[in-house]
Amino acid sequence: MLKIAFDKSYRHPLDEKHRFPMIKYELIPEQLIRENTCNDSNFFIPGCIEDKNVLTTHEETYYRKLCDLKLTPKEARPIGFPMSKSLIKREKLISQGTIECVSNSLKNGVSMNIAGGTHHAFRDRAEAFCMLNDQAIGANFLLENNLASKILIIDLDVHQGNGTASIFKLDNRVFTISFHGKKNYPFHKEKSNIDVEFDDDTGDIEYLKKMDAVIPNIIDEFQPNFIFYLSGVDILKNDRLGRLGVSIDGCKKRDEIILNLCKRNNIPLQISMGGGYSHDLKNIIEAHSNTFRLAQEIYF
Ligand SMILES: [Zn+2]
């Protein structure tokens, strides 16, 4: 059965300014249940994360300061959210969601987190709505527990996975791929194992051609025994923060390529949602829902 990490607190009770991007975390499960793609038994509420599972990935001083709300204003400003205990609790819950997903992926082939994809979190600092890097934490959980030895992280959010690239820069057990908009944030990019940069307004044909040219070869060469996929839908044409021009159909084909590759090669897959900030909320929900629909279709 498809297991999906979700808790009501994923939609953090933020002020009006931050409400818009967060509401999708409530609407995606609603949509999936309404249309019968999922039912209540597909969803699970993550438990409490153990500090040791964060400290595989994040520096202790930073983590303590974050938990105790003791980041200096200069350290907290790049996050972009007002800091609060409940915000940190939510962030920890999401990371635990990804940890619990990986066990489900090992068992069922695929598992998904309704949120996550916090790829701008570095070992020792937070950036752009990301404080704890859920997929890096999930990857280190697998390595620490000898559940996987070669991990591929495929980050197709429109923004470069700078935190993830930096965390695994010196770790050859983890191979990082990031496809992103050349002119999109972050303006200083880190070095992933493979970075593919797109010009503004890149559409379906060019995007999907590049995927076909790069990703199957990496899987053949690196031979991962676990894959993380960050399926941000901020590659869509009308995204407020993205600069690419991919259609909803193209975005669905993108997900289909990744899911089929993992299924065909029998490699367990964890998916976190990442960004999606289109003016039209319907587009965001539709594009994210497609990822879940495809997982159900292809795996179950
Ligand atoms: Zn993004």
Judged against a pLDDT cut of 80, whether residue 10 lies above it is answered with yes
Judged against a pLDDT cut of 80, whether residue 15 lies above it is answered with no
188 counts as catalytic: no
- The mean pLDDT value for 65-85 works out to 94
Q: Rounded CA gap, 28 and 23, in Å?
A: 9
Q: 146 C-alpha vs ligand 1 centroid, how far in Å?
A: 30
Q: 275 C-alpha vs ligand 1 centroid, how far in Å?
A: 4
Q: 206 C-alpha vs ligand 1 centroid, how far in Å?
A: 19
pLDDT confidence band for 151 (50 / 70 / 90): very high
Q: What is the pLDDT of residue 18?
A: 65
Per-residue pLDDT of 153-210, as tens digits, reads: 999 999 999 999 999 999 999 999 999 999 999 999 999 999 999 999 999 999 999 9
pLDDT confidence band for 17 (50 / 70 / 90): low
Between 17-21, 69-73, 195-199, 225-229, the lowest mean confidence (pLDDT) is in: 17-21
Q: What is the pLDDT of residue 16?
A: 64
Q: What is the pLDDT of residue 153?
A: 98
> Spelled out in words, what is the top-level CATH class assigned to the domain 24-299?
alpha beta
What are the structural domain ranges in the chain?
24-299
Q: Which of 120, 159, 180, 288 is catalytic?
A: 120
Q: What is the pLDDT of residue 42?
A: 98
- Closest C-alpha to 255, from 280, 286, 226: 286
Q: 106 C-alpha vs ligand 1 centroid, how far in Å?
A: 27
Q: What is the pLDDT of residue 13?
A: 62
Judged against a pLDDT cut of 80, whether residue 148 lies above it is answered with yes
By DSSP bridging, strand 151-155 and strand 174-181 are parallel
Q: Rounded CA gap, 257 and 298, in Å?
A: 11
Q: What is the pLDDT of residue 278?
A: 83
Q: What is the pLDDT of residue 22?
A: 80
Q: The pTM is what?
A: 0.97
Q: 111 C-alpha vs ligand 1 centroid, how far in Å?
A: 21
Q: Is 266 left (phi over 0), alpha (psi -120 to 50) or beta?
A: left
Quote the mean pLDDT of the chain. 96
pLDDT confidence band for 234 (50 / 70 / 90): very high
- The mean pLDDT value for 141-155 works out to 98
Q: What is the pLDDT of residue 279?
A: 81
pLDDT confidence band for 11 (50 / 70 / 90): confident
